[in-house]
Amino acid sequence: MRSTISGYSRLTKVHKFSAAGIAAAGVAAVALAVVPSGSTEGEQQAAIGVKPVAWNAKAFGTEAQRDELVKQSDTAAGKARAEAEAKKKAAAEAKAKAEKERAEKEAASRSAARQPVKAAPAAPAKTAAPAPKTYANNLDGWIREALDIMKAKGIPGTYDGIYRNIMRESTGNPQAINNWDSNAAAGIPSKGLLQVIDPTFKAYHVDGTSWDIYDPVANITAACNYAAAVYGSMDNVNSAY
């Protein structure tokens, strides 16, 4: 049956340790007390040499507790170190990611800045319209203008052939008119530089020239157009036609 002392039902481990210590101290005291004061030195040492009760942490089970505490402390320290390393690693990764993103943005910005600006296509150079060709208002100028028109219309003839027939027919007078030949007798006299009658002029008139039979250029081109159809070219005409 357990006794109760001052309201406590049982002794704790601390109480047991204390009691054991007191007991050991008491044993030592008893050992010293039983040695007579008049004993010899050898007797006193023999009395004192009684083996005392060993009192250390291992004897009372505290070493296991200490090891457990050390183990828990090491575990906690290891966990703390692991967490610190994890935080350090996460911070390093975040920093590296931020630096990479910044570098990419800077590279993109530099690339955009170096992007060559496309120049607008150059407007085609405006070529000035050629100045209209001018001709002298004389026989030479009339023949040359007529030849340019004939060339554009595909009518054959040369300067020499035209000049030769003009000199025979009118001696270069654009207002010449024949009032004595058979055409004149029929009421359709020959007119102009190449002595063309009205029906022939109208039938072989060249577009772009005047409808006035006395106009030098119109008269030459109509006469050459007729000669090309009948003789192959004004160059082949050597007499009245």
Cα 114 from Cα 122, distance rounded (Å): 23
Examine residue 69 and state whether it is found in any structural domain, yes or no: no
pLDDT of the chain, 241 residues: tens digit per residue: 443 333 334 444 444 444 444 444 444 444 443 444 444 555 444 444 444 444 444 444 567 776 777 777 778 777 888 888 888 888 888 888 888 888 888 777 666 655 555 666 777 777 777 888 999 999 999 999 999 999 999 999 999 999 999 999 999 999 999 999 999 999 999 999 999 999 999 999 999 999 999 999 999 999 999 999 999 999 999 998 8
Is 119 among the domain residues?
Answer: no
List the beta bridge partners of residue 5: 8
pLDDT for 115: 57
**Sign of torsion, CA 203 205 210 212?**
negative
**Res 85: pLDDT:** 85
**Token pair of 9, please?**
């039902």
pLDDT value at position 71? 75
In the structure encoding, which two tokens stand for residue 235, read together? 């160059």
Could you tell me the maximum CA-CA distance found in the chain, to the nearest angstrom? 205
Residue 86 in any domain: the answer is: no
> What CA–CA distance (Å, rounded) separates 10 from 28?
27
> Residue 71 domain-assigned?
no
Q: Which two tokens stand for residue 184?
A: 């004149």
CATH number at residue 183: 1.10.530.10
Those residues whose C-beta lies under 8 Å from the C-beta of residue 19, and which sit 6 or more positions away, are: 11
3-state secondary structure of 164: helix
pLDDT, residue 90, reads 85
Exposure string over 159-180, b if 16+ CB within 10 A, otherwise e: eebbeebbeebbebebebebee
Nearest to 146 by CA among 192, 197, 190, 188: 192
Domain that holds residue 28: 13-48
**Residue 111 confidence (pLDDT):** 64
In a domain, 31, yes or no: yes
CA 22, CA 16: separation in Å to the nearest integer? 10
Number of domains forming the structure of the chain: 2
In a domain, 152, yes or no: yes
Q: Report if residue 127 sits inside a domain.
A: no
- Going from the C-alpha of 129 to that of each of 46, 123, 135, 153, 217, the distances in angstroms are 147, 17, 18, 22, 24
User: Is residue 133 situated within a structural domain?
Assistant: no
**CA dist., res. 51 & res. 115, Å (int):** 98
Long-range contacts of 214-218 (CB under 8 A, 24+ apart): 214/174, 214/175, 215/174, 216/139, 216/142, 216/146, 216/174, 216/192, 217/142, 217/145, 217/146, 217/149
pTM of the model: 0.49
